[in-house]
Amino acid sequence: MTTAALHPHYSLAANLRFGSRIAGLLLALLLALPLHGLWRLFRLSSPWPMNFLAAVAWIVGARRHTIGRSLRRDVVFLSNHLSWLDIPLLAGRNGTAFVAKSDLEKVPVIGWLCSLNRTLFVDRTARMSIADQIAQLRDALADVWSITIFAEGTTGDGTTLLPFKPALLAVLDPPPPGVRVQPVLIDYGPAMADLAWLGDEPGAVNARRVLSRRGTFTATLTFLEPFDPADYPGRKAIASEARMRMVSQKS
């Protein structure tokens, strides 16, 4: 990536948009944190991480449009992955937890915020702990009711679906009893080029670009028909079925 791309010049209007959105995000966090702590103090199920993430998406400019019905419990969502905005959009819609790379846990502030939404951090290079990670995922699914896996394993450009990585679906091989899989397709429409997080662009540079963007945009979440993973022999077949349904929806 070039030096100009790493340090782009922003207009005064863009800087004002960036500053106002950062202020809005901080205000939402300051409001949500004590309320979340109060709910946890009384051992109540806290809605505030979900509410905060919904506010994040709205402040950044996303106007969510939902197609289909989202399951609320005993479900693994398999979604495409386009931007860091995918997380507040999905979690703000149904409170789902996510599976994320373990190195994200070490990122200041971001890692802590992810933990508030019960993110499951997994180390894909630690082959010796795969069995433990699968057990962790299954325990979490029983506790938080829904988990989202970005089956491509990385972000795409929004025009095509990348191949799914069946190894990410180890929690479904064999599937826990009663759990269903629901494919989810995220689409940012004409705003995709402005929001995509591709290549070697640093996260801070992408966030600055997205937060400086003018206006609002429609983010469409399409929840496809869920299916029983027990009807498909293994994680490769489950990944193939989910991807086929998503490709059919895009075409």
Of residues 176 and 27, the one with the higher pLDDT is: 27
The single residue listed with the structure tokens 């269903």 is 180
Read off the pLDDT of residues 202-236 as tens digits, 9 standing for 90 and up.
888 888 999 999 999 999 999 999 999 999 999 99
| Among the ranges given (11-25, 91-105, 219-233), the one the predictor scored with the smallest mean pLDDT | 91-105
How do 97-101 and 146-150 pair as beta strands? parallel
* Torsions phi, psi for 148 (to 5 deg): -110, 130
**Position 130 pLDDT exceeds 70:** no
Peptide bond into 49 cis (omega under 30): no
User: Which sign does the torsion angle of CA 116, 137, 108, 208 carry?
Assistant: negative
Segments in the chain forming alpha helices (H)? 3-6, 12-41, 48-60, 86-94, 110-116, 130-144, 192-195, 203-211, 235-250
Spell out where 123-230 has E strands. Answer: 146-150, 180-187, 217-223
Q: Which residue has the higher pLDDT, 45 or 32?
A: 32
Tell me the pTM.
Answer: 0.88
Q: What angle do CA 130, 133, 139 make, to 5 degrees?
A: 145
Residue 22 pLDDT level (bands cut at 50, 70, 90): very high
Confidence of residue 1 (pLDDT cuts 50, 70, 90): low
Q: Which residue has the higher pLDDT, 228 or 124?
A: 228
For 108, what's the count of Cα atoms within 13 Å in the CB-facing half-sphere? 1
49-64 residue pLDDT tens? 899 999 999 999 999 9
pLDDT score at 215: 94
167/1: higher pLDDT: 167
33 or 144: which carries more pLDDT confidence? 33
Task: pLDDT band for 178, please (50, 70, 90 cuts).
Answer: confident
CA distances from 26 to 68, 87, 159, 165, 240 (A): 32, 18, 33, 36, 41
Report which of 59, 53, 71, 42 is spatially closest to residue 116, judged by C-alpha positions: 53
Quote the pLDDT of residue 230: 94
Q: Is the pLDDT of residue 110 over 70?
A: no
Which residues, in sequence order, are bridge partners of residue 219?
Answer: 64
d(CA 141, CA 147): 6
pLDDT at 4: 47
Average pLDDT, the chain: 85
